[in-house]
Amino acid sequence: MIVARCEQGSPEWFANRSGVITASMFRIARTKTRGGGMSETARHYAFRLAIERISGVPLDVDRPTASTWQMKRGQRLEPMARFCHIEEIGVDVEEVGVILTDDRKFGASADGWIGEKGGAEYKCLVGEAELESIYIDLDATKYAEQVQGNLWLSGREWWDFCVYCPALERIGLHFWRQRVYRDEAYIEAMVTDLRNFDEVVEGFREKLIARQEFRAGKITSEQYRAIFGAPF
């Protein structure tokens, strides 16, 4: 495991996530069509990662800001969420950064580590549907891949999934926490899917390189046809 100590939203943070299949996107990477094939959304994500693995920088690096308003809101509210968390469990939460597999193909922005066995994920949700699922149905399964992904990458035993909603502070429900433990069977199935997804990313990357090599005369038509099935 590689730990990149950097502030969320910083240039270093974006650089360490470039071309990486991140835990927040594990759910997307695993989405399938009704027929069991890869969904269009997953394929688009795979192609984006392939480009980033070639360039070494985020695809949207030239945008005025690569941060969404949701990300900026989360960055602003996360210290308050962490404070509420520490106050509730009575233990410090260490800020981390980005954790990565040794091959840097998979990673996660870990919001915090707790002692030697635990971790933390903070969500400052504003969508009413998501908030209803959490507060009324007590259902956080939408984030299962992200939480179990953090557990897989970190090797830790449990993770506190926390929601901070300042709008509910008046009735004392502004902080919601659920402790999630490792599910080895779930992790095994998830990692299998993610490895298969990574093969698609690498396939796109290899095709992009081969297309340019053919155009530059570095590979023959036969070599190109073996990759694409037809000449360019």
| pLDDT tens, position by position, 104-155 | 999 999 999 999 999 999 999 988 999 999 999 999 999 999 999 999 999 9
Residue 227 lies in a domain: no
Summarize the confidence of residues 43-55 as an average pLDDT: 96
* Residue 153: CA count within 13 A, CB half-sphere: 32
**Cα distance from N-terminal residue to C-terminal residue, the chain:** 41
The residue type found at 7 is E
Low-confidence winner among 92-101, 193-202, 210-219 (lowest mean pLDDT):
210-219
Q: Is the pLDDT of residue 229 over 90?
A: no
Provide the pairing of β-strand 106-110 with 112-114: unpaired
66 has a pLDDT exceeding 70: no
Give me the pLDDT at residue 11, please: 86
Q: What is the pLDDT of residue 225?
A: 72
- The C-alpha atoms of residue 228 and residue 224 are separated, in whole angstroms, by 6
Please report whether residue 210 resides in a domain: no
What confidence category does residue 230 fall into, taking pLDDT thresholds of 50, 70 and 90? low
Task: Please give the mean pLDDT across all residues of the chain.
Answer: 90
Lowest mean pLDDT among 102-106, 143-147, 207-211, 227-231: 227-231
The percentage of residues in the chain with a pLDDT greater than 90, rounded to a whole number, is 72
Q: Provide the number of structural domains found in the chain.
A: 1
Q: What are the angstrom distances between the C-alpha of 76 and each of 8, 49, 70, 81, 154?
A: 11, 28, 10, 10, 25
Which pair of structure tokens corresponds to residue 156? 């830790």
Q: Is residue 231 part of a domain?
A: no
Confidence of residue 64 (pLDDT cuts 50, 70, 90): very low
Domain membership of residue 200 as a residue range: 2-205
pLDDT bin (cut points 50, 70, 90) of residue 62 is low
Give the count of beta carbons closer than 10 Å to the beta carbon of residue 22: 20
Q: What is the mean pLDDT of residues 176-201?
A: 97
Average pLDDT, integer, range 162-174:
95
Residue 220 lies in a domain: no
pTM, two decimal places: 0.87
What is the model's pLDDT at position 75?
75
pLDDT at 61: 60
In a domain, 152, yes or no: yes
Specify if 166 maps to a domain. yes
Q: For residue 171, what pLDDT is reported?
A: 96
Residue 218 lies in a domain: no
**The domain spanning residue 24 has which CATH number?**
3.90.320.10
Please, which pLDDT band fits residue 166 given cuts at 50, 70 and 90?
very high
Length of the chain: 232
Q: At what angle do helices 184-215 and 144-154 cross, to 10 degrees?
A: 90
What's the CA gap between 190 and 12, in Å, rounded?
A: 28
**Is residue 39 over pLDDT 80?**
yes
Q: What percent of the chain has pLDDT over 70?
A: 91
